[in-house]
Each structure stands twice: as structure tokens, then as C-alpha cells.
Structure 1
Amino acid sequence: MLVCHCNLITQKDIEEVVVSLLEADPWQLIVPAKVYHTLKKRGRCCGCFPNVVDTIIRVTEEFHRRAGGGETEIVPFLDRVRGLRGQYGSIGHEGRRTDHRAA
């Protein structure tokens, strides 16, 4: 599935980068800018960043569950990340103006 139309980045590309970053340091904070930097791309319109954050959270949860991390460590960490997302960004907004039209 294509996540970033500006840079032609697929969800699989993002998942692979997140896993490689987690293998290097399992408890690092991964943000869209770090993923894009690893892919040697730049965020242009940044409308895809909320979807990238969702993918990062999902892949991070799966990675730590497979690695045998205890739920007591995984859940509070990711709940804090979700809380920050709720505080600083909206799921439905995606960085576009209200008068934005796709067609």
C-alpha cells in the first residue's frame, strides 16, 4: 500500500525501516523524520505523517511482542506515544487545510 504519494513510499518500506531501527536500538523513539531520513527522502506535504506514526506504533508493538518484551514495559511506553499523538495531532487532520480537495 502506498503511504506517501509525494515520495512513492510504501507501507512495506516503512515497516522494514522501523524494524531495522529497532534491531539497532529496541527502545529508541522513532519518528517520521527518522524514517524518512533513513530512506533518504524528505517530507514534502507531510500529510502522510499520521499514517506513518500509526505504522511505527503497530510495528513497534509487534517487534517487542516477538522479542519477548513484557507487556508491563510495552503498553505504558506506547500509551504515552499515543497520548502525545492525541495531544499534538489529530487522526483525521493529516496536515491539510479544510478546503483541500483531492480531485
Structure 2
Amino acid sequence: MLVCSCNYITDHDIRAVITELLDQDCWQLIVPSKVYHAMSKRGRCCGCFPAVVDLIIQTTEDYHARRHSTDSEIVDFMSRLKKFHEDQRRADIERRLKSHRAA
């Protein structure tokens, strides 16, 4: 699936980079800019970043499931990251609606 049409990056490319980053340090914080930097690309319109965050969350969860990481190792980082992502989406929606007010 095409994730970034500005740079023509697919979800397979992004998952491969995320896995490579996790192989280096499986507990590091991975953000879209780090993924793009690893691919020697940069976000142009950055409209794909929410989808990249979703891929980061999903790929990281799958990676730790394959490693059989214990629950004590996986603090609650993933749930906090998901909550942050949802809050940011909500803020984006609210921001857009406020800008379309008539008065």
C-alpha cells in the first residue's frame, strides 16, 4: 500500500526500516522523522505521518510479540503512545472545525 505519495514510500518500506531500527535497539522511541531520516527522505506535506505512526505502533507490537517480550518489559509505552496519537487526531479535527466558523 502506498503511504507517502510525495516520496513514493510503501508500507513495506516503512515496516522494513522500523524493524531495522528495532533490531538496533528494541526499546528506542521511533517517530516518523526518524523513519524518514533512515530512508534518506524527508516529510514534504507530512500528511502521511498519522499513517506512519499507526505503522510504527503495529510493527513494534508485532516485533515484541515475535521476541516473546514479557509484560514486565513492555511497560505501558504502547498504550500511552496510542492515547497520544488519538489525542492529536482529535485536536486536528477540532482545529479544523474551529477554523470554519462563520463569526
User: Scaled by the length of structure 1, what TM-score is found?
Assistant: 0.83
Q: Counterpart in 2 of 1:62?
A: 62
Structure 1: gaps (5+ residues): 99-103
What secondary structure, in the 3-state scheme, does the structure 2 residue paired with 1:3 have?
Answer: strand
TM-superposed CA distance for 1:69, in Å, is 0.3
| Identity rate, percent | 52
Q: Partners in 2 of 1:44 and 1:78 — Cα distance? A: 27
Structure (1/2) with the larger helix percentage:
2
Cα displacement (A) at 1:76: 1.2
Alignment root-mean-square deviation, CA? 2.1
Structure exhibiting the larger radius of gyration computed from Cα positions: 2
Give how far 1:75 is off: 6.4
When normalised by structure 2's length, the TM-score is: 0.83
Farther off after superposition, 72-81 or 38-47 = 72-81
Q: Which deviations, in whole Å up to 9, do the C-alpha atoms of 1:8-35 show, x marking residues without a partner? A: 0000000000000000000000000000
Distance 2:86 2:73 in 1: 21
Structure 2: give runs of 5+ residues left out of the alignment.
98-103
Task: State the match for 2:38 in structure 1.
Answer: 38
CA distance in 2, matches of 1:85, 1:71: 22
Deviation at 1:72, TM superposition (A): 4.1
Q: Which amino acid aligns with 1:64?
A: H
